[in-house]
Amino acid sequence: MTAAVVNDDLLDDEIVQNPSPYYAMLREHYPCHWNERWRGWVLSRYEDVYNALHSPKFLADRITSWYQNRLTAEERERYKVTYDALHSFVVFTDPPDHTRLRRIFARAFTPKAVQTMRAITEEMVTWHLDQWEHGKTIDLNAEFAYPLPANVISTIIGARREDLDKLQHWAEAITTLLLAGVGDDTRLDRAQAALIEFKAYLKELYDERIDNPRNDMMSWLMEVQRQDPLLTEDDVLHSCIILLNAGHETTQTLICNTLTTLLDLPKELAFLRANPQSMKTALEEGLRFNGPLKGTIRLAGTDMELHGEHIRQGERILLLMGAANRDPAKFADPERFVPTREPNPHLSFSHGIHFCLGAPLARMEAEIAFNEMLRRFPKMEVRSDVRWESRILGRSIQAPIHLHLG
Amino acid sequence: MALKKLIAVRVDPNLCVGSGMCVSSHPDRFAFQPDGHATYTATVLDESAAREAEELCPVSAISLVFDEEEKF
Q: Which residues, in sequence order, are bridge partners of residue A383?
A: none
B60 interfacial to chain A (CB closer than 8 Å): yes
B47 has a chain A CB within 8 A of its CB: no
Q: Mean pLDDT across the stretch A69-78? A: 89
Q: In the predicted model, is pLDDT for residue A1 greater than 80?
A: no
Confidence label for A182 from pLDDT (cuts 50, 70 and 90) = very low
Q: What is the mean pLDDT of each run of 10 residues along chain B (72 residues)?
A: 82 94 94 94 95 91 84 47
Average pLDDT over chain A, rounded to an integer: 91
State in Å, rounded, how far the first CA of chain A is from the last one. 53
Strand partners, A293: A394
Mean pLDDT of A76-103: 87
Q: CA-to-CA distance for A11 and A294, rounded, in angstroms? A: 12
Q: State the pLDDT at residue B1.
A: 52
Interchain pair A353, B57: CB under 8 A: no
Q: Which residues of B touch A50 (CB under 8 A)?
A: 36
Give tens-digit pLDDT for A167-178: 888 988 888 777
Given this model, what pLDDT does residue A205 score? 96
| B20 in contact with A, Cβ within 8 Å | yes
Residues of chain A found within 8 Å of residue B16, distances taken between Cβ atoms:
none
Provide, as residue numbers in chain B, all residues whose Cβ is less than 8 Å from the Cβ of A351: 17-18, 36
Cross-chain residue pair B19–A107, CB shorter than 8 Å: no
A 34-73: CB under 8 A from B = 50-51, 54
Q: Does A110 contact B56 at a Cβ distance shorter than 8 Å?
A: yes
Confidence band, pLDDT 50/70/90 cuts, at residue A181: very low
ipTM of the complex: 0.86
Q: CB-based contact (8 Å) between B42 and chain A?
A: no
Rounded Cα–Cα distance for residues A332 and A328 (Å): 6
DSSP3 helix / strand / coil % (chain B, rounded to 5) = 20, 30, 45
Write the residue in A107, A109, A111 that is nearest to B60 by C-beta: A111
Backbone angles phi, psi at B4, to 5 degrees: -105, 120
b/e code A187-202 from CB counts within 10 Å (16+ = b): bbebbbebbeebbebb
Residue A301, pLDDT score: 96
- Measured CA to CA, the distance from residue A301 to residue A59 in angstroms comes to 6
User: Residue A110 pLDDT more than 90?
Assistant: no
Decide if A50 and B20 are in contact by the 8 Å CB cutoff.
no
Residue A197 scores a pLDDT above 60: yes
